Amino acid sequence: MLIRGVTLKINASAASRLACGKEGVPPEESGRIILERSGQELVITDGERGCFVFEHRQTTFIPAIRWDGATDTVGAGDSFTAGFSYALAAGATLVNAAEFGTCCSAVTIRKLNQTGFPTPEEIAALF
């Protein structure tokens, strides 16, 4: 069920199921379907690939920030959502908010064996 008046942030597999009732539909396609059905702009996160921002006039792909070191993905989605929400509340566009969320998750995956959160200094170093 979609709730009107909110920005949907969903992961790629959930978007696939919501849009088409099955797994494996690329986020580029499932996001377009959800946008058409709901009329609401949305963001789909796609793990290590990055995320897609679906607006009425365009779709923007924001690649994940590359990191070749050891990673721990616990909390990465929550960090993205927190950073994204914070940026939106501060007046950022959907694209800028998604970029900020991407930075937050990029910091989080580098914190091994802990459920850490990004500090302003760590975000600034990436952003």
Q: What is the pLDDT of residue 4?
A: 64
Task: Judge if 57 and 82 occupy the same domain.
Answer: no
pLDDT tens for each residue of 35-86: 999 999 999 999 999 999 999 999 999 999 988 999 988 889 999 999 999 9
Task: Judge if 39 and 75 occupy the same domain.
Answer: no
Starting at the edge strand that comes first in sequence, how are the strands of the sheet with 59-63 ordered?
8-11, 42-45, 50-54, 59-63
Q: How confident is the model at residue 7 (pLDDT cuts 50, 70, 90)?
A: confident
Q: Which of 72, 96, 73 is nearest to 86 (CA)?
A: 96
Q: Which domain holds residue 115?
A: 67-127
Count of the separate structural domains present in the chain: 2
Is the separation of the CB atoms in 126 and 103 below 8 Å? yes
Count CB neighbours of 44 within 10 A.
Answer: 28
Q: What is the pLDDT of residue 91?
A: 95
Task: Judge if 75 and 127 occupy the same domain.
Answer: yes
Which of 64, 83, 108 corresponds to the end of one domain?
A: 64
Predicted TM-score (pTM) above 0.85: yes
